[in-house]
Structure 1
């Protein structure tokens, strides 16, 4: 039994549903269609598979040991997995050209193409591959990545294909995180802030740090890190590069006076031998409570 998919959306959906339910299917043709995915995992009886001129990015026939004929020319395959199939005596394939949208300066090819094995990839030009993680990096905008893929073996021996991967690089968002508390009690020393106090993800441009002081209702730019008592804010920014957008964060902080006290009035509590004492409480910024006593020499009226 064979099935042929015609180039219409409804036909593709219907025949995909039918062939996935037909485990005895021996022949399948999807050439010259807009099909982008083909699940033939249930069709292990397949002997003929024709998928020329499609939009397929992946094709795995490693479990189809009965497959005799495979034609997959002019399809944008990122990889082809044949497994080891000595029964596959007629194989027509071509090197492929693939387009891929990525964000930033690296991407995971295992996430881009499910089932691809980085260990079967040999990078030829255009980027670097970490075979353990699948991370591809060090590519340039406008320069394609070229690699050779080990497809397995057919009745004709070892099979490989060359893939040219054109990247549509979209800029990612940069992220700045401040890992230090800047507010402090006055100690005569300027605020210390350097790159080790920051976590920057994304852009590789230099980090810019700008301080401003609050004066009444406006902010005034400072030429150096503040050290005096006052209210301040810092603007930390990183510029846009080839792969990531710029970013900026603003953090407000204070340098407070040592022992800043806020008096709380307490009414007189009485007297002792016609000599009264007024008791007040001073709240010290460090958190301690200090009691003060003031002699009142005014005699009590009789």
Structure 2
């Protein structure tokens, strides 16, 4: 028979064990949450750093493409003038009214955009679109030769054995307007949002901001307000500031160079090729990947220790 004082002792022991289990469970849940937050932050940091490659390729490509015709580098390889200039050595019509001969903003212009030196940065949200503009089907062989086994009949006419029944490359949609405009709506399962900004700080130097978060690369609320339709994305300033505080941002500086060699395009390490010798014009005989370099290389790529004044 259990005495009353023994019953009290058992109750105290059971209550203590329950409290201990509750404390351990709470500590476990808190640790799991902290681990999850750390993993998410690490994923954001990785995503932001991946954006550096996209931004550097953007700098390389926009020195030659994207202005309504072919251009010849950020410092024109023909005469050394600030670029990008067209075939006739003139500024492309897309920004000719805002840029002076030295690449800076014209004095009469109150606001100029990239690629004007010290103009507003180019902002590039890198979410996955439902269908990008000018999307091409990823079919490897749209017109395969109709022979599978050696015993197949190969006596068919040449227009059947080697044909061009399906366009190659083939657009995703047959509507020319939809092909050009694409479907810019974000794909909801595209993972962590990321973006990069490119600010042209000099004729050949660029400040690159890489981010992972939902701000779409807007620097501050004023820039959101100044961009038509952007305020509707975030609702209000408080929501935007909360989004901005939760994302990861990294800053870099790079200097474009017109020095090229061989068949390479990438700016970093590729397979067994060392990035320190990659693109060096003195190593033309060295084996390089089979990608033609038509867009220049970089004299240096540096990580900035803190947020720069202009980006």
For the aligned pair, the TM-score class normalised by the smaller chain equals under 0.3
Q: Which has the higher contact order (CA 8 A, sep 6+)?
A: 2
Task: Select the structure that is richer in strand.
Answer: 1
Which structure dedicates a bigger proportion of its chain to helix? 2
Q: TM-score, normalised by structure 1?
A: 0.24
Larger Rg: 1
Give the TM-score taking structure 2 as reference length: 0.23
